[in-house]
A and B are shown apart, each in its own frame.
Chain A
Amino acid sequence: MSSIMRGNLRMAVSGVRGAKWRSLLTMLGVIIGIVSVVTVVGIGEGMKRQIGQQINHLGKDLITIRPGKEASVLDKTKANRDIVFGMQSAGALSTKDWQVVSETSQVKLAVPLGAVSGEVTFEDVQLRSGLVLATSSAMPEVLNHDVAYGEFWQPDEEDTNFVVIGHKVAEQLFDEEAPLGKSLTLRGEKFIVRGVLSPFNALPVSPTANFDSVVFVPVKTEARLTENSLQFYVLLAKPQNAGLDQTVAAIRERLTKAHAGEQDFTVLSPKDDIVASSEILDLLTTWIMAVAVISLLIGGVGIMNIMLVSVSERMHEIGVRKAVGATGRQILGQFIFEAMVLGLIGGLIGIIASLVVSGLLYAYTDFDPVISWEAIAIATVVSLMIGIVFGALPAIQAARKDPIEALRHE
């Protein structure tokens, strides 16, 4: 049996090679389907991994308090993910809110994050794609993050003109020079660089705000600069020993009281964040999967079509094979095998293409797709199955053909 298989393999491959264009066009549907499935799954995996890293990195007990009411999944997620734009539409939290949260007995530490407008320059160099955030000295501890060089400002230095910068800011503004002790200009005032943060390997709080290119400014200094109109877009809190849920409930209660019974804020534990993220991710994945399945179906129909053509083109050959003693099952095997090879080659091209696409996504976008061996294995099996399923009908047709009728075809 195996020897026939090997012969069939060679026949099938030479058949595919003999009609390159036809085969390629036939496989296109399968290729597109596999590319979309593998890439989407890869992006999904990558996002999940990012979120996982984020949680692990920031600690499983980081509580976020955001302005605005808790909304539907989609809105909530948008608000969750977009610290800069989402929050602006949703309102803001005040210094007083920060105080309330900090003074909640279950909370160990709380830091605010408030975006500040204004350009940052060093000598003549202007900071592009950077972000200025006002925060307090407890920030490194709350985010569970280290300072690579220098140090963060101390609690008693909240009103000084110190800044701590992300490592990309350091690269961009100071190039090779050591940034510590250099002074930046922001809103007409000079700020001395006190420290450089080590690279964030996960994006905390929001994937669109890259903390590596953030200039952190002490919150009181910022309040002075903006004449006390400073507003926070997010408060981060670490619970005391008390449980996470309890702390969340306590914060919610106290803030509600402070807001005179109005719940115009949202308190989230990391769990909520994951739930929201994975909900949107699942929704997205389902949709693209549906598109991919349709594409794979079309690809399968393409294979079926070309196999039907192939069977009728080679009717005479089928007749000859039957005349020398091929059974129906052997003919069936030959044609199913050929369809399988078509599907498999399409699948492999699709896998290679999706690796390329993922590479491009990684290089040029914020996506970080992870293509696992399982995804590749499943894609391979799926493309094989498509060949088998859609090659079956033409193959059965070939196998059932009466030998003498088949021989009469020229």
Chain B
Amino acid sequence: MPAPIIELQDVSKLYGFGDATTIALDEINLQINEGEFVAVMGPSGCGKSTLMNIIGLLDRPTHGFYTLQSKQVARLRPNQRAKIRRDTVGFVFQSFNLLPRLTVLENVGLPLAYKGMLSGKRVKVASNMLERVGLSDREYYYPRHLSGGQAQCAAIARALVNNPKIIIADEPTGNLDSASSRLVMELLSDIHKTGSTILFVTHNPELTRYATRVVYMHDGSIIHDEQTKLGEVANTALRVMYTLPTRTEEDDLAGVSALMKAVPSKDATRPEKKPKEKKKTKPKSRSKSKPTKRPTRSKT
């Protein structure tokens, strides 16, 4: 078996000093092989984003070793890290993070510009990438003129434009409605098929059906790690999720509408096999899965 593309060894991240120290990541050990499509789940504040930022070289661990493509990268200098971000990692953010003063095409071409590609070629490459995400008719729009789903697709195009080995998406569907979420996940799924390694954070158990592996985190540690089949919601996804403490903001982050919360609570342990059905039944399966959270919340 080839060496894993991402290997974390006892990676910790601490914030603050002395009594006020917060442990965001607690000696994480994680190996991700090339071509995996990893979903990372867990409650807010469990360290998912910190983990993503460290893997994406935006942040550096306080302790531990990080090997990316068989290279030690935890202690590299900022400029070298920037170059790895540019060439190896593509970032997709929850809030899209397109630059408002640049057109969609320029946003997508930005990583190419930092690579030093000439403007003519840049436009061509960026334009191809936009075509791939289905936005070729929006090239000269500004981000404010796009819908959420379109903006996220543009952001994905930007993440893809340098042909990175790894795509890191931190709650890519967090700000999107279910139709756009599906659009974005299908897009990531397509990218996965071309051989990219993808990590994404989600609160929505539904979306684990796109993943080949689901990692569950709690309080800075990985508490469960399972392989799943493509197209199926991970077995433990629902169960593990709902025994974890949740907060109201998180429900919002998960894109749950207030209406669904208003539905009377049901038995929390009721087995959820429904999501296995089809995407068409998504609203239904959600309405059932969501209320199950309520009792657990009262537990905390």
Could you list 23 examples of A-B contacts with CB < 8 Å? A2-B118, A3-B116, A3-B117, A3-B118, A3-B119, A7-B119, A11-B102, A14-B101, A317-B99, A321-B110, A322-B82, A324-B85, A324-B114, A325-B82, A325-B85, A325-B115, A326-B86, A326-B114, A327-B114, A328-B78, A403-B58, A404-B58, A407-B58
| Shortest Cβ gap from A400 to chain B (Å) | 8
Give the chain A neighbours of B246 by CB distance below 8 A.
none
Residue of A7, A320, A324, A329 touching B86 (CB-CB under 8 A):
A324
Residue of B56, B99, B114, B118 touching A330 (CB-CB under 8 A):
B114
> Is B139 in contact with chain A by the CB < 8 A criterion?
no
Measured between alpha carbons, how far is A328 from B85 in the docked complex, in Å?
A: 13
Measured between alpha carbons, how far is A403 from B58 in the docked complex, in Å?
A: 6
Give the chain B neighbours of A330 by CB distance below 8 A.
114
Measured between alpha carbons, how far is A1 from B101 in the docked complex, in Å?
A: 21
Q: Of residues 208 to 244 in B, which have CB atoms within 8 Å of A's CB atoms? A: none
The answer on a CB contact under 8 Å between B86 and A325 is: yes
Tell me whether chain A's interface is mostly helix, strand or loop, or mixed: helix
| Chain B residues with a Cβ under 8 A of chain A | 53, 56, 58-59, 78-79, 82-83, 85-87, 91, 93, 97-99, 101-102, 106, 110-111, 113-119, 122, 158-159, 162
Give the chain B neighbours of A7 by CB distance below 8 A.
106, 113, 119
Measured between alpha carbons, how far is A6 from B114 in the docked complex, in Å?
A: 12
Tell me which of B87, B102, B106, B114 has the highest count of chain A C-beta atoms within 10 A of its own C-beta: B114
The answer on a CB contact under 8 Å between A4 and B113 is: yes
Q: Assuming A3-B122, A4-B114, A6-B119, is B97 touching A320 (CB within 8 A)?
A: yes
Question: Closest B-chain residue to A322, C-beta based?
Answer: B82
Measured between alpha carbons, how far is A6 from B115 in the docked complex, in Å?
A: 14
Give the chain A neighbours of B93 by CB distance below 8 A.
323
User: How many residues in A have their beta carbons less than 8 Å from beta carbons of B?
Assistant: 27
Question: Closest A-chain residue to B50, C-beta based?
Answer: A404
The answer on a CB contact under 8 Å between B101 and A324 is: no
The answer on a CB contact under 8 Å between B116 and A324 is: no
Question: Top 6 A-B pairs ranked by shortest CB distance?
Answer: A325-B86, A3-B119, A327-B82, A404-B59, A324-B111, A320-B97
17 additional contacts (CB under 8 A) given A3-B118, A4-B116, A15-B101: A1-B116, A3-B119, A320-B98, A322-B58, A322-B82, A323-B85, A323-B97, A324-B86, A324-B110, A324-B114, A324-B158, A325-B82, A325-B87, A325-B114, A327-B79, A404-B59, A407-B97
